[in-house]
Amino acid sequence: MEVWHVLITLGIVAFIAEIFTSGFISGSVGFGFMLAAIGSYFGLDLVWQILIFAIGVALTYFLIRPFMMRFGYDKQSQKTNLDALIDRKAIVIEEINPENNTGRVKIDGDDWQARTTVNEVIAKGTEVKVVYIESIILYVKLIK
């Protein structure tokens, strides 16, 4: 087995690793291995192969990675925990009243303490939208 075979194999392994990781780092390394394999196939010296690898990784990382991060990854799927509740709809299960400091909403069967973003009373059974979260209190607004 020749050196360029090994480099192509390493490149394929790096591309497969990119499937399971984020950030396009493994993809950049895989691209560098592929370029180094081309250099090896044409009989370039080891120093040139390493240089081609390094340039390939750097160019791919700094030129293609920003594009991949913007358009290649779904930002919505990265929301977790409380951040996932923002912009969700909820049902008021206890009247939201700023004067009495009361109010509860239900999202996906979970009961949350709620306040309104403006000083208004929201009746029980009304559908609201979560605007932001402070600690364990959801701040909601009326959906019109």
Q: Residue 40 corresponds to which tokens in the numbers above?
A: 């090896």
pLDDT in tens, 50-97: 999 999 999 999 998 888 777 766 655 566 677 788 889 999 999 999
Q: Are 113 and 134 in contact (CB under 8 A)?
A: no
Percent of the chain with pLDDT over 90: 65
**Predicted pLDDT of residue 64:** 85
3-state secondary structure (DSSP) of residue 97: strand
Closest residue by Cα to residue 64 from 20, 30, 36, 38:
30
**Mean pLDDT over all residues of the chain?**
89
CATH 2.40.50.140 boundaries in the chain: 81-142
- The domain 81-142 is placed in CATH, from the list 2.115.10.20, 3.40.50.1000, 3.40.50.11600, 2.40.50.140, at 2.40.50.140
pTM of the model: 0.53
Q: Are 60 and 31 in contact (CB under 8 A)?
A: yes
3-state secondary structure (DSSP) of residue 96: strand
Neighbour tally for 81: CB within 10 Å: 7
Q: Residue 103 corresponds to which tokens in the numbers above?
A: 């109010």
